[in-house]
A = this chain, B = another copy of it.
Amino acid sequence: MLKRFLVPEKDQVMVSEADARAATEAIFVKMGLPEDDAVLATDVLITSDLRGCESHGVSNMLRNYVAMYGANRMNPNPDWKIERESAVSATIDGDQGVGIQIGPKAMQIAIDKAEQTGMGAVGVRNCGHFGMLAYYSLMAIKHDMIGVAMVSAGGNLQVPLWGTEPIFGTQPIAWGAPSEKMPPFVFDVATTQVAANKLMLTRRIGSQLEPAWITDLEGNPVMNPVDSPDYGGFFMLPFGGTRENGGHKGYGFATIVDMMAGILSGNGPGYIAGGLKHSQFVMAIKVDAFLDVAKFKTDMDTLLDKLANMKPIPEQERVYYAGLIEHEEVAKRKAEGIPYHREVVEWFHKAGSDLDLTFNLPT
């Protein structure tokens, strides 16, 4: 993430991975999730936090989930079903479970099919939030597969290039592949200029938005730096921002996501399905179906090593590739703990008090 999204040091409270998991699992169980599902959903959130992807970890998301379960807008114990299936594919109705509880099962089905046939893909409709998509790519990578994930999450956020109506969500895409010695390539981006959750993070940490990140409510690009408005006070631009900088490319990928996750799963276009019915597409591609795995991983190492060790331009310290800095962050945070904003830890204690739970977290 850009530095502006990091929690300032003075506001950091270090929490161990184990304590963060225990507190999060306890909350999910209290919400009514089956024990196994609580562990799975927690794993998606804590994996985000360990990778330094706070925007998709417990900080922003857990309180939303709690509010939605409280309002009966998500189903903690969904009776999810495979509606259509082939040797390479499946389509799942998630019965309004949270995506981080159904999505990992969908990717496991895709992986199992790819293990048998060479490729597997699963569409999931009718779910809540799917969390950080890198999680699903990482699942496939462990099986020497390429892992792809996309999520269509309602409309009301992103305008098409030159358009005035926000008919897309942030429409994220993840794509990862295994390597041997180098940390794996794991790409995970919103097709907007920036993930919506990250706009809210800027508010917590007091930084501004860049030109061409958002539009006003008539779709006009905001071309000067501004404080992030509240949800409902802006729309988002596709990545690239302007036509000349590739805004039509961000817009095109946003459309692809609506088509692959939304329409192909039967959920329909996101702007019609609405904010409570997210949909997902996950795909696993077995490397061995195309090429010897050893050759693939060696070539990935060659490419990734070239990127990570390339001389940067004078203004920058280093060239990164997707997944590199996150991999380094995991090692650091597993050792030192996760640096949550103190406000997040305060929320845990408040929620614990409301839910009659006690957490082993700093006060």
Interface residues of A (CB under 8 A from B): 2, 84, 86-89, 91, 117-119, 121, 123, 146, 160-165, 167, 175, 177, 185, 187, 189, 193, 210, 212-213, 218-221, 239-241, 243-246, 248-250, 252-253, 255-256, 258-260, 262-266, 268-269, 271-272, 285, 287, 289-291, 295-296, 299-300, 302-303, 306-307, 310-316, 318-322
Q: How far apart are A150's CB and chain B's nearest CB, in angstroms?
A: 11
Q: Which 4 A-B pairs have the closest CB atoms?
A: A239-B246, A187-B252, A89-B289, A162-B316
**Contact A240 B248, CB 8 Å, known A87-B118, A160-B307:** no
Q: How far apart are A30's CB and chain B's nearest CB, in angstroms?
A: 36
Interface centre among A89, A165, A262 (most CB of B within 10 A): A89
Is there contact, CB below 8 Å, between A164 and B310?
Answer: yes
**Contact A313 B86, CB 8 Å, known A241-B245, A246-B193:** no
Chain B residues with Cβ under 8 A from A318's Cβ?
162
Is there contact, CB below 8 Å, between A255 and B313?
Answer: no
Is there contact, CB below 8 Å, between B163 and A303?
Answer: no
Contacts A84-B291, A89-B118, A162-B315 known; list 16 others, CB within 8 Å. Answer: A84-B289, A87-B87, A88-B117, A89-B119, A117-B117, A160-B307, A160-B321, A164-B310, A164-B312, A189-B249, A220-B314, A246-B246, A255-B321, A259-B300, A264-B296, A269-B302
Is there contact, CB below 8 Å, between B146 and A289?
Answer: no
Is there contact, CB below 8 Å, between B246 and A91?
Answer: no
Is there contact, CB below 8 Å, between A246 and B250?
Answer: yes
Bound Cα distance from A64 to B230, whole angstroms: 54
24 A-B residue contacts at CB 8 Å?
Answer: A2-B243, A86-B117, A86-B289, A87-B118, A88-B88, A88-B118, A121-B290, A160-B310, A162-B315, A162-B316, A162-B318, A163-B307, A164-B311, A187-B253, A193-B246, A210-B245, A248-B320, A248-B322, A258-B303, A259-B300, A263-B296, A263-B300, A264-B285, A264-B290
